[in-house]
Amino acid sequence: MDSLARGSEGLNYERRVFTVSELNRRLKELLEGSFPFLWVEGEISGLKSSPNGHLYFNLRDDGASLQAVLFRAYRPKLLFKLEDGMHVLCFGRLSLYEPRGQYQLVVQQVEPLGIGAFQVALAQLKEKLAREGLLDPTLKRPLPFLPKVVGLITSLHGAAIHDFLKVGLCRFPRASIYIYPVRVQGPQASQEILEGLKLLSSLGEVEVIVITRGGGASEDLWAFNDESLARAIRKCRVPVVSAVGHEIDYTICDLVADARAPTPTAAAELVFPRLEELENKLSNLQKELVKGLEKQLRLKHERLSSLANRLRSPGEKILEQKKEISHLKRRLLLALERNFKTKREMLRLLSGRLEALSPLAVLARGYSIVRRQSGEVVRDSSSLKEGEILEIILHKGRLKALIKEIL
């Protein structure tokens, strides 16, 4: 409905009435047309993830707040994890959600302020792996002393492979090197390295695996900061050596590996012993062994000579033992004789005492012993009866008596 209306200042205005939907649509067109793409700085707050994978959050500063959304399709481009309180730059476009009349920033790219996205992502991954114990130094395995077969994962087109092969085969030409060619930078690099690690690990003859490339910018080395690759290195059947970048470069691959070399050349020196040095060391050990055996033989000979001088003939030893036995025999006979005399004298004394106490000695002095037929000794006449038969024992002989009268 259109009509004329008089304003407060007496002017006539054409009154244009919009529906809510029309107004929101016009505002959406105006907003998106005026701000097609822009960067917005702010602090993340109220971060949440929807079930369908979209990220919703607010960008705020000291005076205002702006709603923002990062759709699931753009999440793989994030190099780090968004967190509340993080100060960021967001690139995107403004859009208005017509049903509610709310406008928001549709984010396509996020960069942290004060530190690069690669550094933030790397720090977050380091912290995560450290919490899980994958960076624990006690998990690192020793490298084999003389590896016969070494697996090498690297690019065929860089200087790293030439440096490693030149130094490795010069130091230990008897070794075999299985090469798995990969891209060492770019979006497919980490997956190719992971596949190479799995394949070489499955070969039973491979004793150690080396992952290497030359130096480069942090972005060039990003394939070696892959979380899946880090976990595969930790689970690998054989020890893994990481030689990525130059001496100052450190990647997640370096931190998780069983050993880290600053350059491909250093990795070859770490894995392969120098054959010439081994031969010299073996020769020196052989000389020391011969000297040690000669010294032991000399000491044993001196010991044997000393024992031979101290050793007497068996005849002398037997004669000495016979003399000792004869001496002990004489001492034994003397001891037995003294003991016999002592026992005999003691027996004589005991016999005299026994004889003095014997009833027979009393009988010899004129006494006699009266017993009943049962053998009981009669000590009191009151216990007897007339007509009882008694036995009377004299010093010599025995009598039987009949009691006629008890007085």
**Mean per-residue pLDDT pooled into runs of 10, the chain (407 residues):** 44 71 80 81 89 91 87 86 85 85 88 71 85 91 92 92 92 91 90 95 94 81 89 95 80 92 92 77 79 86 79 76 87 88 86 71 73 83 83 82 82
pLDDT at residue 3 in the model: 41
Of the three residues 356, 373, 389, the one that is the final residue of a domain is: 356
In a domain, 65, yes or no: yes
Cα-based torsion angle of the residue sequence 27, 28, 33, 39 in order, rounded to the nearest 10 degrees: 110
pLDDT at residue 1 in the model: 38
* 146 and 190 co-located in one domain: yes
pLDDT at residue 395 in the model: 72
* 255 and 376 co-located in one domain: no
* 146 and 262 co-located in one domain: yes
In a domain, 132, yes or no: no
What's the distance, Cα to Cα, between the start and end of the chain in Å? 179
In a domain, 304, yes or no: yes
* 50 and 169 co-located in one domain: no
Dihedral over Cα of 368, 371, 373, 376: its sign = negative
- Quickly list DSSP for 173-239: TT-EEEEEE--SSSTTHHHHHHHHHHHHHHSTT--EEEEEE----TTTTGGGG-HHHHHHHHH-SS-
* 202 and 265 co-located in one domain: yes
pLDDT at residue 176 in the model: 93
- Residue 133's CB is within 10 A of a number of other CB atoms, namely 10
- Residue 31's CB is within 10 A of a number of other CB atoms, namely 14
* 186 and 268 co-located in one domain: yes
Q: Which helix (H) or strand (E) holds 279?
A: helix 275-310
* 303 and 331 co-located in one domain: no
Query: Cβ(159)–Cβ(263) under 8 Å?
Result: no
In a domain, 76, yes or no: yes
In a domain, 131, yes or no: no
pLDDT at residue 96 in the model: 85
Question: Amino acid identity of 399?
Answer: L
* 378 and 336 co-located in one domain: no
Cα-based torsion angle of the residue sequence 144, 191, 226, 243 in order, rounded to the nearest 10 degrees: 40
Cα-based torsion angle of the residue sequence 344, 345, 347, 352 in order, rounded to the nearest 10 degrees: 140
Q: How many helices (H) and strands (E) does the chain have?
A: 10, 15
In a domain, 121, yes or no: no
pLDDT at residue 2 in the model: 42
CATH of the domain at 89: 2.40.50.140
Q: Which helix (H) or strand (E) holds 107?
A: strand 102-112
Under 8 Å CB-to-CB from 254, ≥6 apart: which residues? 224, 242, 244, 260
- β-pairing, 259-260 with 240-244? parallel
* 191 and 145 co-located in one domain: yes
How many domains does the chain contain in total? 5
Q: At what angle do helices 159-171 and 264-271 cross, to 10 degrees?
A: 30
How distant is the alpha carbon of residue 28 from its chain centre? 63
Q: Which helix (H) or strand (E) holds 260?
A: strand 259-260
In a domain, 8, yes or no: yes
CATH of the domain at 223: 3.40.50.10550
Q: Any long-range contacts for 286-293 (C-beta under 8 Å, 24+ apart)?
A: none
Under 8 Å CB-to-CB from 105, ≥6 apart: which residues? 40, 59, 66, 67, 68, 69, 90, 92, 93, 94, 95
* 252 and 145 co-located in one domain: yes
- Residue 14's CB is within 10 A of a number of other CB atoms, namely 8
Query: Cβ(361)–Cβ(355) under 8 Å?
Result: yes
> Three-state DSSP class for 12?
strand
* 285 and 191 co-located in one domain: no
Full domain range(s) for residue 393: 363-402
Query: Cβ(148)–Cβ(207) under 8 Å?
Result: yes
Identify any residues that bridge with 88 across adjacent strands, giving them in sequence order. Answer: 42, 112
For residues 349-360, b (16+ Cβ closer than 10 Å) or e, as one string?
eeeeeeeeeeee
* 146 and 265 co-located in one domain: yes
pLDDT at residue 250 in the model: 81
In a domain, 135, yes or no: no
Residue 333, CA distances (Å) to 191, 322, 328, 340, 344 in order: 103, 17, 9, 10, 16
How distant is the alpha carbon of residue 36 from its chain centre? 59
Dihedral over Cα of 393, 396, 402, 404: its sign = negative
- Residue 114's CB is within 10 A of a number of other CB atoms, namely 9
Under 8 Å CB-to-CB from 387, ≥6 apart: which residues? 402, 403, 404
